[in-house]
Amino acid sequence: MTRRFVSASLVLLLSGACFAQQLMHWPVRGTREMVGAANNFEVEAGFRMLAQGGNAIDAGVAATLAAAVTEQARFGLGGEMPLIIKMKGKPVRIVSGVGIAPKLATPEFYAKRPPEPWEDAQRMSPIPAVGILAAITPGVFDGLMLALETYGTKSFAEVVAPAIEYADGFPIGEEYANFIFTHQRLIGLWPTSRDYFFVNGQPPPVGSLFRQPVIAKTLRELAAVEKKARGNRAKKIMAVRDYFYKGPIAKRIAEFSEKNNGLIRYEDMVASRASFDEPVTGTYRGYTIVKPGFWTQGPVMIQALQLLEGFDLKAMGHNSPQYLHTVIEAVKLAFADRDRYYGDPKFSSIPAATLLSGDYAATRRRMIDPARASMDHRPGVIAGVAPLPASARRTGDAKDNEYATDTTSVDVVDRWGNAFSATPSGAWLPSVIAGDTGIPLSTRGQSFVLTEGHANRIAPGKRPRVTLSPTMVLKDGEPFLIMSTPGGDNQDQAMAQVLLNIIEFGMNAQQAAEAPRFQTEHFYTSFATHEFAPGRVNLERRIPAQTIDALKALGHQVEVRGEWSNGSAPVMIMIHDGVLDGGADPRRGRYIFGR
């Protein structure tokens, strides 16, 4: 086994020497400002704000609103968003832009529900993966308005202008068009969605000019509210927010929901409030890792890194069998704690201090067997044993999560040193369009469980524990790196690997994004049936065959996929010595621009 480790390490060291010449995208660098997101429209929207004198928050809000129009395959205006903000010289703030379960969304309701038309009664999940019964209240718009009002400088009309332009017509990209085509059967079940997404009764062709007049009308309606409102900038933005959550838009969403057997009511919209939250932090090799709280899976990354700090990863060699085995096993332990203990702290008692403590990490570290992959789900025992999702299966079937189609990412650094890192998500295709608002409803309710006593058990007014997980890394109190990614359950394990590429192996941002990665599925997935796949790990084909064979010999249930098959695709901005070093993962066509 030692000979295999040495052989594979030499192969990787040799390949690493020429890695820079093999990049799919050359690095993007600047000294003033940078925007990273999922497509050119989003990046342009953000950069337009910076060029007009706006700050990182103005740019981030504009880019996210543009994403809700141009990237509805992955994210829509009815979705959700955790956000990290760091203003120059100020403490880090977290924005919870995640909606809540309606009052009618009880465990008892879902336990007795009949199957939806597209569901197999023998395999249906407790909460549907798609459709109106999986809807929570829209959270992202409130989070954006809270950030804009508190830390932005622009008006709502200014930051929404690019999104309105694109809603009036933009060339639809491959992913958006292909998602409409792939999901056309389900989209066709909902007349409002069919009318919204189809052109002359058919999915729009790739690259055709795609118009979304219904959402354009709603966005213009919101901008008009700001213009008519009295008072200062903050009061005008609040008027926009209230029009969405207390005014005509809220009433139209609620009326549509009730008429179509959904659970959202007007009082749920009124009760839905974005808020500032305290960040969760941990350290790794002198860097401070900043994440949103236990209502997300963000602390998983901190837990995994604290386990890994006790190993000499650099000496193992990048992506060597020993390195990959160690990181995979640490990630599995961190995910086990997520599955047992994470949930909305407003409703559930989370053993946060224990989970993030050095002593706990040291105890968990000793559970990693260097000679064997664990097949067991091994959460820590903290004040008794917490229940697992009762609906979970232990087989794992990719088809169960075919409708969990994910997320986007927006990251901005401005000329003043302010930073914005967000993971907008939800209301992805196939989505139900809420009447004449053009707003797609989220299906994030599927992330709840029904298990009595579980921290993530569904309850009225509660936030689901989301996979969304923006990242900020500080060095000596100042931003060193911001990063976010799509990828569902894969987000934090992918970003942990990217961060290790930078800290342990000295890669620049683009190299770190493009390096081959693993993706373990040894956890109870956050979607629909919450299945568990013991020992399964997906590897990109660029990882050498010797390394793959060594991991199989250690007991990992390896599946080798495409060369660029990892499900996450981070964008990141690294800040060092007055230089902004941008990275955009080519796996899912991320974009970044700076100057």
Compute and round to an integer the Cα radius of gyration of the chain.
23
pLDDT of residue 9: 40
For 359-410, the pLDDT digits (tens) are: 999 999 999 999 999 999 999 999 766 566 655 555 544 444 454 567 999 9
DSSP-based three-state secondary structure for 37: strand
- H-helix segments, 89-212: 107-112, 140-151, 156-167, 174-182, 184-187, 191-197
Of the candidate ranges 16-25, 339-348, 484-493, 583-592, the one whose mean pLDDT is the lowest: 16-25
Q: Which two tokens stand for residue 384?
A: 């008794």
Indicate if the pLDDT at residue 518 is higher than 80.
yes
As a whole-number percent, the residues of the chain with pLDDT over 90 amount to: 91
Closest CA to 463 of 217, 96, 77, 40: 96
Indicate if the pLDDT at residue 91 is higher than 50.
yes
62 sits in which H/E element: helix 56-70
| CA 259 from centroid of its chain's CA atoms | 31
Outline where DSSP puts E strands in 542-595.
557-561, 571-576, 579-584, 591-594
Show Cβ contacts of residue 311 under 8 Å, excluding neighbours closer than 6 positions. 326, 365
In order of 95, 394, 398, 535, the CA distances from 528 in angstroms are: 26, 14, 11, 20
Structural domain boundaries of the chain? 2-27+279-377+485-585
Per-residue pLDDT band for 122 (boundaries 50, 70, 90) equals confident
pLDDT of residue 390: 54
Closest CA to 471 of 461, 463, 456, 481: 481
pLDDT of residue 399: 44
pLDDT of residue 333: 98
pLDDT of residue 156: 98
Question: CA-to-CA distance for 11 and 548, rounded, in angstroms?
Answer: 13
Across 504-532, average pLDDT: 96
Given the candidates 3.30.300.30, 1.10.246.130, 1.10.540.10, 1.10.357.10, the CATH classification of the domain at 2-27+279-377+485-585 is: 1.10.246.130
Show Cβ contacts of residue 215 under 8 Å, excluding neighbours closer than 6 positions. 68, 69, 77, 167, 437, 438, 439
Question: CA-to-CA distance for 470 and 424, rounded, in angstroms?
Answer: 9
C-beta of residue 341 within 8 angstroms of C-beta of residue 381? no
Show Cβ contacts of residue 357 under 8 Å, excluding neighbours closer than 6 positions. none
C-beta of residue 434 within 8 angstroms of C-beta of residue 440? yes
Count Cβ atoms below 10 Å from residue 418 Cβ, excluding itself. 23
End-to-end distance of the chain based on CA atoms, in angstroms?
48
pLDDT of residue 397: 47
Closest CA to 181 of 170, 173, 169: 173
Closest CA to 274 of 105, 82, 425, 448: 82
Of the candidate ranges 278-282, 393-397, 429-433, 536-540, the one whose mean pLDDT is the lowest: 393-397
CA angle 92, 93, 95 (to 5 degrees): 150
Show Cβ contacts of residue 513 under 8 Å, excluding neighbours closer than 6 positions. 498, 569, 570, 571, 572, 583, 584, 585, 586, 590
pLDDT of residue 12: 41
As a whole-number percent, the residues of the chain with pLDDT over 70 amount to: 93
Question: CA-to-CA distance for 561 and 65, rounded, in angstroms?
Answer: 34
Indicate if the pLDDT at residue 7 is higher than 60.
no
For 74-89, the pLDDT digits (tens) are: 999 999 999 999 999 9
Closest CA to 461 of 224, 167, 264: 264
Indicate if the pLDDT at residue 341 is higher than 70.
yes
CB-based contacts of 237-246 (< 8 A; 24+ apart in sequence): 237/145, 237/148, 237/149, 237/155, 237/156, 238/145, 238/149, 240/145, 240/156, 241/141, 241/142, 241/145, 241/146, 241/149, 244/138, 244/141, 244/142, 244/145, 245/142, 245/269, 245/270, 245/272, 245/273, 246/270
Per-residue pLDDT band for 20 (boundaries 50, 70, 90) equals very low
Per-residue pLDDT band for 16 (boundaries 50, 70, 90) equals very low
Indicate if the pLDDT at residue 15 is higher than 60.
no
pLDDT of residue 589: 87
> In whole numbers, what is the pLDDT of the chain averaged over residues?
93
pLDDT of residue 317: 98
Q: Tell me phi and psi for residue 16, to 5 degrees.
A: -65, -30
Q: In terms of C-beta density within 10 A (0-12 exposed, 13-18 middle, 19 or more buried), how is residue 89 classed? A: exposed
Of the candidate ranges 6-20, 90-104, 241-255, 408-422, the one whose mean pLDDT is the lowest: 6-20
